[in-house]
Amino acid sequence: MLKYDDYAESAKALCRALGEFCPEVLIILGSGLGRLGERLKDPIAVPYGDIPHMKHSTAPGHAGRFLAGELGGKSVLLMQGRLHLYEGWAPEDAAFPIRIAKLMGIEKLIVTNAAGGINTGYKPGDLMLISDFIKLNAPDPLIGPNIDEFGPRFPDMSRVFDRRYMLDFKRIAEAHGEKVHEGVYYYCMGPRYETPAEIRLMRVLGADAVGMSTVPECVAARHCGMRILGISLITNMAAGILDKPLSGEEVIEAGSAASERLSTYVTEFLEAMDTDA
Ligand code: HPA
């Protein structure tokens, strides 16, 4: 298991690679959504492989590097590609970048992902602000000796996602004529898609969308007290809702199609963000 000193060593290595640049917001980009990086002014790229203890990203549509630069007037650190449990990484590996960001002084997190719509009022291309999550049978990144420097042994999870951030993002999207859903994200480890029976069960449990990411990072981020905005792009309807099989290509394509739109909202959200709050 990773120790506090391992995180500190990695945070130092990333700081060194960024030189004078001090990011204040971490943004994690989901499948096909990596194009936000094109909007960064004078970006500095740091491959995950350059950071000690950091695992690399093997998922399609995930470049596997940090990009640091200015966006919407804020100094941001982007992750082009995240680490998933289905790649064989441990939950603490998926949460690792959050903790090094925290040690670099970052207190704010924006996470995006591709998700399957469970709520039949949703359609592919819709955006859903994550209001809460369900993770029942998957291991947690906080399992193991607690690292007290990050947070308490039994952290509260009654409000993982920041209400103020949700309202601000909604206002911005609505000003562009887009209605944004608010819903519950059901975390599955993957890599296989769900069965129709599993999706029916998730609906009964109160889930609106399903995906294979985001939750390990958000657990670690809440543990260390970060403010979080979570955005799901509904790339497909979940298994069994439509009479067709699911495919990874469809998810990447839908992600790419929405990338520009989502990038605009995130940029405007950053412009409006009060970094002192
Ligand atoms: N299920 C799980 N993960 C996903 C899906 C899905 O339907 N779509 C995009 N990511």
> Could you tell me where the beta strands, DSSP code E, fall in the chain?
25-29, 41-47, 65-71, 74-80, 108-117, 127-134, 181-187, 209-211, 227-237
Q: Which of 31, 233, 235 to mutate to test the pocket of ligand 1 (most atoms within 8 A of CB)?
A: 235
Average confidence (pLDDT) over 137-151: 95
Predicted local confidence at residue 250, as pLDDT: 83
pLDDT averaged over every residue in the chain: 94
User: What pTM did the predictor assign?
Assistant: 0.96
213 CA: nearest ligand 1 atom = 3
Is it the case that residue 221 has pLDDT exceeding 70? yes
Predicted local confidence at residue 56, as pLDDT: 84
What's the CATH superfamily of 4-272? Nucleoside phosphorylase domain (3.40.50.1580)
Task: For residue 253, name the pLDDT band (cuts at 50, 70, 90).
Answer: confident
Q: Which of 91-105, 166-180, 262-276 has the lowest mean pLDDT?
A: 262-276
Whole-angstrom Cα distance, residue 102 to residue 26?
A: 9
Domain edges within the chain? 4-272
Predicted local confidence at residue 136, as pLDDT: 92
Residue 55 alpha carbon to ligand 1 centre in Å: 23
Is it the case that residue 160 has pLDDT exceeding 90? yes
Which position has the higher pLDDT, 241 or 35? 241
Average confidence (pLDDT) over 188-197: 96
Whole-angstrom Cα distance, residue 255 to residue 277?
A: 31
Q: Is 119 left (phi over 0), alpha (psi -120 to 50) or beta?
A: beta
Whole-angstrom Cα distance, residue 152 to residue 147?
A: 8
Task: For residue 81, name the pLDDT band (cuts at 50, 70, 90).
Answer: confident
Task: For residue 97, name the pLDDT band (cuts at 50, 70, 90).
Answer: very high
Ligand 1 contacts (CB < 6 A) are: 114-116, 188, 193-194, 210-212, 235-236, 238, 246, 251
Task: For residue 72, name the pLDDT band (cuts at 50, 70, 90).
Answer: very high
212 CA: nearest ligand 1 atom = 3
Task: For residue 31, name the pLDDT band (cuts at 50, 70, 90).
Answer: confident
Predicted local confidence at residue 41, as pLDDT: 86
Predicted local confidence at residue 23, as pLDDT: 97
Angle, alpha carbons 211-215-219 (nearest 5°): 175
Task: For residue 61, name the pLDDT band (cuts at 50, 70, 90).
Answer: low
Residue 212 alpha carbon to ligand 1 centre in Å: 7
Average confidence (pLDDT) over 2-11: 96
Predicted local confidence at residue 103, as pLDDT: 98
Q: Where does residue 2 rank: exposed (0-12), middle (13-18), buried (19+ CB within 10 A)?
A: middle
Predicted local confidence at residue 62, as pLDDT: 64
For residue 11, which phi and psi values (nearest 5 degrees)?
A: -60, -40
Predicted local confidence at residue 42, as pLDDT: 87
